Amino acid sequence: MKNFLYFLFIAVFFNVSLATAETPEEKGLAIAQEDDKRDNGFQDFTASMVMVLKNRQGEESSRNIRNKTLEVENDGDKSLSIFERPRDVKGTALLNFTHKTGTDDQWLYLPALKRVKRISSANKSGSFMGSEFAFEDITSQEVEKYTYKWIRDEEYQGEKCFVFERYPTYKNSGYTRQVVWLDQKDYKILQIKFHDRKDSPLKTLTQSNFKQYLGKYWYPGTMYMENHQTGKSTLITWKNYKFQNGLRSKDFNKSSLKRVR
Amino acid sequence: MKNLMNTSIRYQFRGDNDYVIEHLTGFESIEYSLNAGESGGVSNPAYLKKVDEFAQWYRKQPGVMYVGTLTDTMKRLNKNMHGDDEAYYRLPEERDLSAQYLLLYELSLPFGLDLNNQINIDKSSTRFTAILESVSTQHALALEKRAQKWLRENAPPEMASHGASPLIMFSHIAKRNIDSMMIGNTLALLLISVILIAVLRSFKLGLISTVPNLVPMFMTFGLWGWVVGEIGLAVSVVAPVALGIIVDDTVHFLSKFRRARVELGKTTEESIRYSFHTVGPALFLTSLILVCGFLVMTFSGFRMNVQLGFMTTISIIFALLADFLFLPTLIMKLSKPITENKSHP
């Protein structure tokens, strides 16, 4: 009887520990899924952003853009970016359909020509408007776009964070991996370090000035991307977030591109 | 042996280089940064038109293989956006249309590329690239000068700019080198003559020494000019290098001559014979050895070394001939009047 009890104890003990042990890959995926869950349900939002590009010599150039984003069920978000400044490109609009897998769809409206041009989206790795943000950085991050691996927990900027790596599934991605610092309380992305196709450190994204909207969603007020290889940087400042404006799909199609102002 | 002399075959790099120049493009370029004068000014139709005019002028210049500017991209975009209609292969006339084309172009670039290698971040300047055939440094500098003149006369003042490129840099370096070599050589020669006058304690002898020092150089360059006709960085270096070796021969011959004349009291002819006996074989042997050494350089795959080897060999041979054939007769010819004076030290 005693032997049996010992055996039972050992069996239960091992079973329990086996049941709670997660591989780092599973843990990473779980974190990403939780993050995605917390981000869902906002329906739509509008915001305006100022993007300042700086080169190694300190020379600057800035652009003002208004942004509308629509959440799409079971797929990536749709977004419409309207350029306000510089004056020569005012009224130019970029329509972007993100897809969970495969290439995104993009269209650009040129008001001077009154024509909509489809853009080749094999260029997701290309830079957005000459900035250090690639298209694949700013389009909505869906869980299926990466595979994951949790690395460690760490304190960063006074907040306890998950540090995990994610590996793009997109074949033509400009990155081999990204290392993400996600705070454990609110699942805000505080920092991402990007590694290029040679697996050398390429860029670092720092997000700050987070505000909570609708009592649930945390959005950054400031995004700073620095390219360590070229010395160039881009600073994006977001303002006037407005949620649940009642936007619908028909506000995000080619004809709505032309009507935009 | 033929293959040994053909550097295209000996060196993969050279062969590839030549192939590219013959079939694809050139390696020499001149680059300009053309300023529009204001932020975003590259979209200004007047500016684009000026850049295009400059490009067209440049293309007509001899030795220019290709000119690349933003205006070519603009024209192509205009054509593409109008259903590839050839009639639209021209610059847009509205400023905002140009700016929007640039935006479209920027949004379509693949990873790692941006427009910053053609347009600065402020969009106030574009890069203008002219690719040249293999031209001489003289040709390149002249072309650059003409281009600057065109810009001064035809373009607004803010667009004026210097051409820049390794070719321009090396052309200026070569020119500067050659100019200062000329001065340096002359100075060296003067100094050597002065020192020889002091050492030989004879004005006449010192002056006579300049002849076998100079003549070999003149003859070498003369021969080179006749056979090859072009001087570059390598050849201009030969003069000072060879001068050192040439002066050696003269000094040995003349110092022995002086000893015979002054210390041993011999006649001019006897002194010359004395010099031949004492240093003649040594002069011959050292010249032979040096010639063999420098001839080895002519097997090099690097043209500068080949030229240096050839030129120095020729000048050493001429130096020996000058010292053996010319100098003695010159001394005899000029010594007659001073024979009586010089017999007493």
Q: What would the pLDDT profile of B227-258 be if each residue is shown by its tens digit?
A: 887 777 777 778 887 888 888 888 898 888 88
Chain A's closest residue to B117, CA to CA, is: A130
Could you give the percent of chain A with pLDDT greater than 90? 40
Q: Which of left, alpha, beta for A41 (phi over 0: left; psi -120 to 50: alpha)?
A: left
pLDDT: is A224 or A140 the higher one?
A224
For A86-127, the pLDDT digits (tens) are: 888 899 998 988 887 777 788 889 888 888 888 776 667 777
pLDDT: is B1 or B23 the higher one?
B23
Start-to-end CA span in chain B (Å): 59
Q: How near does any CA of chain B get to the CA of A200, in Å?
A: 14
Average pLDDT, chain B: 86
Tell me if B81 and A117 make a contact (CB, 8 A cut-off): yes
For B34-84, the pLDDT digits (tens) are: 999 888 899 999 999 999 999 999 999 999 999 999 999 899 989 988 888
For B71-122, the pLDDT digits (tens) are: 998 999 899 888 888 888 999 999 989 998 988 888 777 776 777 788 888 8
pLDDT band, very low/low/confident/very high, at A261 (cuts 50, 70, 90): low
Q: How many Å apart are CA A119 and CA B208, to the nearest integer?
A: 82
DSSP E strands: which ranges in A157-221?
Answer: 159-168, 175-183, 189-196, 201-208, 211-213, 217-219
Average pLDDT over residues A1-26: 68
Q: How many Å apart are CA A133 and CA A67, to the nearest integer?
A: 16
For B292-310, the pLDDT digits (tens) are: 999 999 998 888 888 889 8
pLDDT at B196 over 90: no
Q: ipTM for the complex?
A: 0.76
Contact A119, A107 (CB under 8 A): yes
- Name the residue ranges covered by the structural domains of chain A: 25-255
Q: How near does any CA of chain B get to the CA of A24, in Å?
A: 30
pLDDT score of A161: 93
CB atoms within 10 A of CB A27: 17
Q: Which of left, alpha, beta for B197 (phi over 0: left; psi -120 to 50: alpha)?
A: alpha
pLDDT score of A121: 63
Q: How near does any CA of chain A get to the CA of B51, in Å?
A: 20
pLDDT at A37 over 80: yes
Mutation pick from B107, B108, B120, B122 vs chain A, by most beta carbons of A within 10 Å, is: B107
Mutation pick from B33, B111, B124 vs chain A, by most beta carbons of A within 10 Å, is: B111
**DSSP structure string for B195-211:** HHHHHHT-HHHHHHHHH
Tell me if A108 and B103 make a contact (CB, 8 A cut-off): yes
Average pLDDT, chain A: 86
Tell me if A59 and B120 make a contact (CB, 8 A cut-off): yes
Judged by a CB distance cut-off of 8 A, whether residue B115 touches chain A is yes
For A50-76, the pLDDT digits (tens) are: 999 998 888 888 899 999 999 988 888
Q: Residue A108: which of B40, B104, B121 has the nearest Cβ?
A: B104
Could you give the percent of chain A with pLDDT greater than 70? 92
CB atoms within 10 A of CB B115: 19
**CB contact burial B186-197 (16+ within 10 A = b; e otherwise):** eebbeebbeebb
Tell me if A130 and B106 make a contact (CB, 8 A cut-off): yes
pLDDT score of B278: 92
Contact partners, residue A247, CB within 8 Å, separation at least 6: A43, A44, A46, A68, A70
Average pLDDT over residues A27-38: 89
**Minimum mean pLDDT range among A41-50, A77-86, A104-113, A124-133:** A124-133
Question: What structural domains does chain B harbor?
Answer: 2-164 (no CATH), 173-334 (1.20.1640.10)
pLDDT band, very low/low/confident/very high, at A147 (cuts 50, 70, 90): very high
Judged by a CB distance cut-off of 8 A, whether residue B40 touches chain A is yes
pLDDT score of B136: 83
Which residues of chain B neighbour A129 with C-beta distances below 8 Å? 103, 106-107
Tell me if B103 and A92 make a contact (CB, 8 A cut-off): yes
Q: Which of residues 159-188 of A touch B (CB under 8 A)?
A: 172, 174
pLDDT band, very low/low/confident/very high, at B345 (cuts 50, 70, 90): very low
pTM (2 decimals)?
0.73
Chain A's closest residue to B94, CA to CA, is: A112
Judged by a CB distance cut-off of 8 A, whether residue A128 touches chain B is yes
pLDDT score of A18: 47
Which residues of chain A neighbour B94 with C-beta distances below 8 Å? 112
pLDDT score of A20: 54
The DSSP secondary-structure symbol of B87 reads G
Tell me if A125 and B111 make a contact (CB, 8 A cut-off): yes
Chain B's closest residue to A127, CA to CA, is: B111
**DSSP structure string for A96-112:** EE--SSS--EEEEEETT
pLDDT: is A152 or B21 the higher one?
A152
Q: How many Å apart are CA A173 and CA A123, to the nearest integer?
A: 9
Please compute, for residue A82, the number of CA atoms within 13 A of its CA located in the half-sphere on the CB side.
19
Average pLDDT over residues B169-179: 86
What does the angle CA B206 – CA B212 – CA B214 come to, to the nearest 5 degrees?
Answer: 95
Q: Residue A112: which of B97, B109, B121 has the nearest Cβ?
A: B97
Q: How near does any CA of chain B get to the CA of A158, in Å?
A: 34
For A167-188, the pLDDT digits (tens) are: 998 887 889 999 999 999 999 9
> Could you tell me the CATH superfamily of domain A25-255?
Lipoprotein localisation LolA/LolB/LppX (2.50.20.10)
